[in-house]
Amino acid sequence: MIKQFLIDYSLDVMDGEVIACQKHKWACQRFLRDIEREGTDDFPFIFDEEKALLFFQWMNLFQHTKGVLVGQKIEPHEIQYFVFGNIYGWVHRDTGYRRFKKAYWQVGRKNAKSQSLSCVASYESMAFGENMSEVYCAATKKDQAKIVWKETKAMLDGCPELKGKYKVAYGEIVHPKSQSIIKPLSKQDGKTGDGLNPQCGIIDEYHAHETDEIYEVIDSGMVARAQPLLMIITTAGSNLNSPCYRSEYDYVARLLDPDHEETENEEYFAMVNELDKDEEGNLIDDIKDESVWIKANPIACSYPEGIKNIRSKLVEALEKPEKMSKFLTKNMNVWVNYGATSYMPVNKWKSCSIILPTTDVRQFPCYVGMDLSLTTDITSTGGVHPLGEDTFFVWQHSFIPEAKLAERMKTDKVPYDIWIERGWLEVTPGEVVDYSFVEAYLKRIRDDGYNILEIDYDKWNATHLAQTLANDGFEMVEIPQSIKHLSEPTKTFRDRVYQNKIIHAADHMLAWAIGNAVTRKDAQENIMLDKKKSKNRIDPIAAVINAFARAMLQEDNRSVYEKRGPRTL
């Protein structure tokens, strides 16, 4: 029954009846090839129907612990039948020992990874038949290692058929009859692997491992076991130097590829569900085409709520570019490098523009940001006026050395001359920006009625000017140029733009800078503008962000009364 199902399923995949990526097709092709040579001298493995069925009978004991199916009995999806039918069905014809000692399944988020691993953990410790089995749910961090362990416990706790047949003590799930255990294991525990004798090692989200230390702890401890299983389930990641990509993904890609006959390992099972790429690594599939999502999400795309969740993630990734790499790795299951991404679509910025301010902004307080950059390049100031109700009016005024103007117009290919006429850009004499003109400009607008509360500056190359401006009576506030300090204002500014709560007077130079701006992101999804990777100069928006960092903070700290102003009777 299981064997015939897998044959029919594989044929449907190969014929296109089941939408699948290339590596998925290769896995099915590999299975069909193995069926043809089953039990031969060159391939001494046979498919044991009873052993495959036993795992799924075990899986059927449990209930869904979360999601729309919570409380219902688990009915394995066809991709689970294929993966675990292979893992548990194939055995050696002479010994009866299982064929696959290692298994790798890469699939998108919300495709029952933890549920599948939990069934494996409990099966290996309580039903597979090995005494004193040691099953380890392994990760680099304790919290990650406990995810599968907690899911296993929750599934056991919800299974009346297994009541009284296990106990939990000292962080272990114990099966007294076989003296087997299930235990979380992490690098943070400081384990060296000494004394471990794993029957089964489960590695969840291997892409997040910076080293193969935990992998080796499990793998090296299995040498005394007759039929161990090292099970890896992961999404793709963004570190191409990780052991998951460098060692496992690259290896299984060659293992599955029928054109790589030199890479053969009869004891390693592999399945990869992802969007397809060409030979250069560029996506062939369109991420906006919902019909291809099932390639990476065979389970999540089998019910409406799963598709709806992916759809919402895509909308967010398109709106917030730094979310795109996470969408690609977690939802489309494709490996990407962390890279610079556009800060925001220019059309979003333009939708906030007005030809002229509808009111005199001088009646509102002003925060002025400074980005001095190199003295031979553009230096910018940026103003932010809180208007109330989380709305801000912003502007910029930049400076360029006269001797560099013609060169910059040629290399940057923008109409600096027109921007000078419009008053967005000011020329200073000589080869470098004369900072005395910056000082004079700030004093001039102050004298013209601008209520400048403070000047917010990047201290790089600004020590002397900052002191000069302080002597002129300006309140000077240094803005640390770190991703930790700039992430929140950079994100919040963009959010306010999307909400049409940033107003500007259609300054083309500022729009140009925003169009140039890209961000860099750390592992915690903090972002900041990245000058090195931006397409061209971003000094005007960098100055505005410096000012907004303080304007946003000060607005948040104002009392409700201050924000509303006094009531009139």
Cα–Cα dist 548/550, whole Å: 5
pTM: 0.69
| Of the candidates 507, 520, 524, 166, the residue with the CA atom closest to the CA atom of residue 544 | 507
| Of the candidates 359, 366, 298, the residue with the CA atom closest to the CA atom of residue 331 | 298
- Cβ atoms of 146 and 204 closer than 8 Å: no
pLDDT of res. 559: 39
pLDDT of res. 194: 61
SS3 annotation, 213-255: HHHHHHHHHCCCCCCCEEEEEECCCCCCCCHHHHHHHHHHHHH
pLDDT digits (tens, 9 = 90+) for 470-495: 999 999 999 999 999 999 999 999 99
CATH no. for 346-564: 3.30.420.240
Cα–Cα dist 393/416, whole Å: 23
CATH superfamily name and code, 2-331: P-loop containing nucleotide triphosphate hydrolases (3.40.50.300)
Would the pLDDT of 193 be above 60?
no
Cα–Cα dist 186/341, whole Å: 33
Amino acid at 90: W
Sorted by where each begins, the domain ranges of the chain are 2-331, 346-564
- Cβ atoms of 98 and 47 closer than 8 Å: no
Q: pLDDT grade, residue 410 (50/70/90)?
A: confident
Mean pLDDT for 261-277 is 93
Mean pLDDT for 286-301 is 96
Q: pLDDT grade, residue 328 (50/70/90)?
A: very high
Would the pLDDT of 196 be above 90?
no
Mean pLDDT for 450-470 is 91
Could you list the beta-strand ranges (E) of 108-199.
134-139, 167-169, 172-175, 180-186
Q: What is the average pLDDT value for the chain, to the nearest integer?
A: 89
Dihedral sign for Cα 117, 123, 126, 131, please: negative
Distance of CA 392 to the CA centre of its chain: 31
